[in-house]
Amino acid sequence: MRDFTLFIPEYIAAGAAIGVLALELALPRLRRDALAWATAAGAAAWLIAALFYVGDAPGDFEGLLRTDAFTAYFRILAAGAVLAVALLSARYLRDRTRAAGEYYGLLLMAGAGMTLLSAARELLTAYVALELLSFSLYVLVGYLKRDARSNEASLKYILLGAFSSAMLLYGISLLYGLTGSTTYAGVAEGLAARGEGTDLAALAAIMLIVAGVGFKVSAAPFHMWAPDAYQGAPLPVTAFLATASKAAGFALILRLFTEALAVDALEWRAAIAALAAITMTAGNLLAIQQTNLKRLLAYSSIGQAGYMLVAVAAIGYGDAAAAQNASSALLLHIAGYTLSTMALFAALVAHYNRTGDESIEGLRGLSATQPFLALVISASLFSFAGLPFFAGFATKLLLFQAGTGAGLLWLAGLGAANSFISLYYYLMVMRRMYLFDPPEGQTRIRPPALLGAMAGLLLLGVVFIGVYPGPVFEATDGAAAALFEASAAAFARLP
């Protein structure tokens, strides 16, 4: 059935992208701040339209795309992330580029790609949505054309991204050859019909797909692009890479591994568990050595990807009920991590706009010059570490609980140990802010009103989830239930 009304929010996002480009062409002397506000208005309209679809019955578009509570969750997340990053970019881009229309247009298209990725139920449709997101990010990472680091980061990201896409496509082609279908349901049916025993071709296909999507979520050892891309990208784009891009990758993983590959969990669950262990350990140990704040956050996000992969491994080891609980815990962690990261970057962008310094040493004495920003940064880092009263505590608790419920006690224990390791380098950042005097000549000032208000609101969200996660957990539980309603047939075929 071709019901084009299922994707009105995405039409709004695409229309806003075209509108921002047209606005800059028609009014070339328009302030770049105005383009940021126009983008934010488009993202807000997209968000409002997405809210009207919450609670609707699932919709199917030709078996290629599905709109349900799972899609609605990522719609809201994508629109919110684009709205936040557009506002973060308003002052940041003012003196750093002559034209910003393409920047904001690509930002909106990347968000639309994220939503389509969460809705995809067919391998080639998912690949096209993934590339819409990826190609937008390739350009955004290198958007500061006069910055050599930005150009280098974009080039590395493109080259490694092309390599990962080739692996993903090769895995898709092998799956098609084995099953005769590219729809998730058709792949599950074809894999279930093979009978018992290990099929080397199926194993090769799944491992290639794991490698391809592992690159997209910066899982080790496919993480090499992340530190350079995070460091070279404009600071608001780094925030988008750390949140929306990672969330989109896990949206793909959840749809694919619960609907298409659930019947072959024996082929991939050990690999995902090993990937989770390597990713969280490598990310946290390498973060300790960093002096550039953006590189530190890149390795921190790699560690976070490792924690999220614990839930994916739990899907493979558990039954349908345990897999649904693991998916719900992962969605909750994505929400808490996104809020914490956006709060952190709101404070960092406000600091960077004033100082132009993105090193850890540049935060020296921040508690004396901008105490509110220091508070927001500290709270966000505590949330990443999983300390009580912050979002990361509640979300990690449920994430590791899902792992132990699936029998992965060793993996949950390793996650807890890595959280303890991460606290060390987060405290090193806070030490600079609170135990050192500010550079000579710097005095106490107030943060900009917009970024200060954003940081404050996001900080409230971080504390709210940490203290009272119930409402958000209900939303993520509904999204996970919708996901498993779509994949019930695949789990019914499990031996």
Give the residue carrying structure tokens 């509108």. 19
Question: Per residue in 370-394, pLDDT tens?
Answer: 999 999 999 999 999 999 999 999 9
Q: Closest by alpha carbon to 129, among 196, 189, 61, 204?
A: 61
Averaged confidence pLDDT in the chain: 89
The residue with tokens 């019909």 is: 193
CA gap 285, 431 in Å, rounded: 19
**pLDDT at residue 448, rounded to an integer:** 86
| pTM of this structure | 0.94
| CB-count exposure of residue 55 (10 Å: 0-12, 13-18, 19+) | exposed
When mean pLDDT is compared across 253-257, 351-355, 371-375, the lowest value belongs to: 351-355
Task: Report residue 144 CA to chain centroid gap.
Answer: 22
The pLDDT assigned to 321 comes to 80
In the structure encoding, which two tokens stand for residue 13, read together? 């996002």
DSSP state at residue 27: -
Distance CA 399, CA 307 (A): 8
Structure tokens at 7: 């994707």
Residue-wise pLDDT tens digits, 32-43: 788 999 999 999
The residue assigned the tokens 């940021």 is 36
* Chain Cα centroid distance, residue 443: 36
Query: What residue type is 53 in one-letter code?
Result: Y
CA 329 – CA 396 distance, rounded (Å) = 8
pLDDT range class, residue 490, cuts 50, 70, 90: low
Burial 222-244 (b: 16+ CB within 10 A, else e): bbebbbbbbbbbbbbbbbbbbbb
Give me the pLDDT at residue 47, please: 95
Query: Are 465 and 472 contacting, i.e. CB atoms less than 8 angstroms apart?
Result: yes
9 prior amide bond cis, ω within 30: no
